[in-house]
Structure 1
Amino acid sequence: MGSFSLWHWLIVLLIVVLIFGTKKLRNMGSDVGGAVNEFKKAMQDEQGKGEQDKVAKNAENGTTVEGEVTSKTKQ
């Protein structure tokens, strides 16, 4: 009575496919995937913007940002 077995989930999947059809389910899946990708891109843009704001604020205040050199390049 606790969890559903594999047969229960297969029956539910069959009913969902019969109700919506495979084409509509495929379209819904691609729409959800596109929305998730846009959300991830927006989160990365905001994160990058936050880092740029920190650098600009430190430059205005005249503070030094400490870091570690991981590789050297010759110029």
Structure 2
Amino acid sequence: MEGLSIWHWIVVLVIVMLLFGRGKISGLMADLAQGIKAFRKGMSEDDKPTDAPPAKPAETID
């Protein structure tokens, strides 16, 4: 079996466009982009050091 040709991809794209429509696909892509931005922002916030001093360890009672 050979790989998928350009015609296979065109047929798949047409079927997807018919099923979901243009509005739903653009909405999904916008949601995906927002998710990626939120992920990157969260990752960059984890890398930044905090200004607060480290917490003191709790004393134990023997």
Equivalent residue, structure 1, for 2:6: 6
Give the helix-richer structure, 1 or 2.
1
Deviation string, structure 1 residues 1-43 (Cα, Å, up to 9, x no partner): 2310011001000000000000000000000000000000000
Aligned length: 52
Q: CA RMSD in A?
A: 1.5
Deviation string, structure 1 residues 28-71 (Cα, Å, up to 9, x no partner): 000000000000000000011xxx26xx67xxxxxxxxxxxxxx
- Name the SS for the 1:3 alignment partner: coil
**TM-score, with normalisation over the residues of structure 1?**
0.63
- Name the SS for the 1:2 alignment partner: coil
Higher relative contact order, structure no. (Cα contacts within 8 Å, ≥ 6 residues apart): 2
**TM-score, with normalisation over the residues of structure 2?**
0.76
How far apart, in 1, do the equivalents of 2:33 and 2:27 lie? 10
Gaps of at least 5 residues in structure 1 are 58-75
